[in-house]
């Protein structure tokens, strides 16, 4: 069973209102948000191995969806070429978003505006591969979380985090993740049986899940190698180890990490517009820090990427 936690700064006099997510997927228990809430954090927890797989690989349940700001109509949650130099990506990353970027992105673009909670890993890599080598000025307005932060932000030449905006990381497709999925085979088959699926079909579905995950792991490793993305940025772990490779002083608690300026500067090669003081005032003040902690979001604090000459980016020797 998937559980959900919600954090909101309500300013709607009606209080929390039932809602569907802007992607069209229903939020667990209906979800909550105020009509003009400044901050809503939706965190989806999945205790079973197979659900973790679906969460990481995308679909209606992305590995974690942290939504800052009020929802917008679905037709606004895509991409647009705002001018010959400015492109914008807004909303959940999925195949439709990747197709939108593929169709509309112009080579004259110099600035990319981001406001995405993340989403499907394969679709995010599709988008990132379009942006490779362009070294755009990336401006985070609202949020760049999950696969947006993993694969899009590292390609920037310059990064600006707007006041009140955030970038959140929670991990990637690494050997630790694949091993965990494989250990969940029996649980997966039992749950499939309860759902009425035959054993043969359940085994076939599990094998396909593992094959897809292995393929994504290899694709991620190749992408990280081409773009010199350090393993620490991807919270990369080897099989059998909880230690994040190439990252020092990461807080031990947290299902997701809010990227502070020190971590961003140490992990990525882009020029960083200073934003730590604003982050402290707008997001990391005491009341909001408590609520983020309750939702499983931990500030990165003193965490920093560290060079490891014996290992290449994200698992590539």
Report the relative pairing of strands 111-116 and 86-90 from DSSP bridges.
Answer: parallel
pLDDT at 145: 96
pLDDT at position 118 is: 95
Question: What is the predicted pLDDT for the residue at 311?
Answer: 52
294 — phi, psi (to 5°)? -60, -35
Q: What is the pLDDT of residue 134?
A: 98
pLDDT value of residue 96: 96
Blockwise average pLDDT, block size 10, the chain, 317 residues = 29 31 31 30 39 43 43 64 98 96 97 97 97 98 97 98 96 94 93 93 94 96 97 96 93 90 98 97 90 91 83 47
């Amino acid at each position: 069973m998937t559980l959900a936690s919600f954090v909101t700064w309500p300013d709607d006099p009606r209080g929390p209102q039932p809602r569907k997510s802007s992607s069209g997927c229903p939020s667990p228990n209906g979800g909550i948000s105020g009509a003009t809430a400044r901050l809503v954090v939706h965190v989806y927890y999945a205790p079973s191995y197979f659900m973790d797989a679906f969460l990481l690989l995308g679909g209606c349940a992305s590995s974690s969806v942290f939504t800052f700001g009020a929802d917008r109509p679905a037709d606004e949650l895509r991409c647009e070429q705002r001018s010959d130099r400015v492109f914008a990506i807004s909303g959940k990353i999925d195949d439709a978003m990747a197709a939108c970027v593929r169709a509309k992105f112009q080579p004259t673009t110099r600035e990319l505006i981001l406001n995405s909670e993340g989403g499907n890993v394969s679709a995010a890599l599709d988008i990132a591969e379009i942006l490779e080598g362009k070294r755009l000025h990336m401006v985070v307005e609202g949020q760049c979380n999950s696969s947006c932060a993993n694969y899009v932000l590292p390609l920037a030449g310059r990064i600006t985090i707007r006041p009140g905006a955030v970038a959140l990381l929670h991990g990637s497709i690494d050997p630790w993740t694949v091993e965990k999925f494989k250990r969940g085979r029996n649980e997966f088959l039992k749950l499939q049986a309860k759902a009425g699926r035959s054993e043969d079909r359940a085994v076939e579905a599990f094998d396909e899940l593992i094959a897809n995950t292995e393929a994504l792991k290899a694709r991620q490793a190749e992408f990280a190698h081409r773009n010199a993305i350090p393993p620490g940025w991807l919270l990369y772990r080897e099989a059998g180890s909880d230690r994040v490779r190439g990252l020092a002083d990461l807080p031990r608690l947290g299902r997701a990490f809010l990227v502070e300026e020190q971590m961003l500067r140490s992990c990525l090669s882009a020029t960083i517009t200073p934003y730590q003081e604003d982050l402290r005032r707008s997001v990391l003040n005491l009341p909001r820090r408590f609520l983020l902690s309750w939702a499983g979001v931990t500030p990165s604090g003193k965490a920093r990427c560290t060079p490891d000459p014996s290992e290449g980016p994200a698992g590539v020797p």
